[in-house]
Amino acid sequence: MLDLHDVNAYYGDSHILHGVSLSVAEGEVVCLLGRNGAGKTTTILTVMGYLRPRPGRIVFRGRDISALPPYAVARLGIGFVPQERGIFPSLTVRENLTVFARSDSGPWTLDRIFAMFPSLQARAHNLGFQLSGGEQQMLSIARALMLNPSLLLLDEPSEGLAPMIVQTIIETITSLKSAGLAILLIEQNLRAALAVGDRHHVINKGQICFTGSSAELEGNDFVLSNYLSV
């Protein structure tokens, strides 16, 4: 589904990613873990076309998307849920969703969204700024699904949320995986990542320093203490 090959990325002259390589298969949840400033968000922004690899290649479903702008990447079927959520505060829940709906048919319709997120249906006529943090996060995920993506990029969806809401996020990601979506998940919440991830990459100073399963990560005290501060 998605392959990053030796991706380097810069902010101006600052070299942030140093040869990052990873892949996400269809129906798989792959987690990218690391401390603040390690390069996690930069990786996703590079996939989405906000930054261009210099050098490196990003391949989505066999197509090189390294030089595409963000809108073209989204049209190919990659949904992006940013860390800051980015919902429209002055639009209702329903309006936030319908403004992103694809004109062509797809599995993710408004009815299906409301079936998966009943709390959003109950708040359909509330404005974005009137929602709780957890509801805003659900809306951000739901809005990305309205694009009918085959790959979903989630940037720290559990950040700042109460434990009960984090559990809801975990259940939502599990349901999306069961529905066949491929997911690249950035997380600092190790418990959440271990609960949903099939494979894990740990990034430190712009380089992948560990790749393995949940069991392998849990059993690696060196990685947990040195790169994840656990």
pLDDT score for 226:
87
Residues 111-151 have pLDDT tens digits of: 999 998 999 999 999 999 999 988 999 999 999 999 999 99
Q: Residue type for 64, please?
A: D
Domains of the chain: 2-77+150-227 (3.40.50.300), 86-149 (no CATH)
What distance in Å separates the CA atoms of residue 222 and residue 204, rounded to the nearest whole number? Answer: 13
pLDDT score for 46:
96
pLDDT score for 104:
60
CA distances from 31 to 130, 145, 150 (A): 31, 19, 17
What distance in Å separates the CA atoms of residue 140 and residue 154, rounded to the nearest whole number? Answer: 10
What distance in Å separates the CA atoms of residue 112 and residue 31, rounded to the nearest whole number? Answer: 26
Q: What is the mean predicted confidence (pLDDT) over 203-207?
A: 94
- Tokens of residue 90, six digits: 């002055």
Q: Environment class of residue 4 by beta-carbon count within 10 Å: exposed (0-12), middle (13-18) or buried (19+)?
A: buried
Contact predicate 35/86, CB 8 Å = no
Q: Environment class of residue 104 by beta-carbon count within 10 Å: exposed (0-12), middle (13-18) or buried (19+)?
A: exposed
Residues 173-201 have pLDDT tens digits of: 999 998 889 999 998 888 889 989 999 99
CA distances from 183 to 10, 11, 113 (A): 24, 25, 18
pLDDT grade, residue 18 (50/70/90)? Answer: very high
pLDDT grade, residue 229 (50/70/90)? Answer: confident
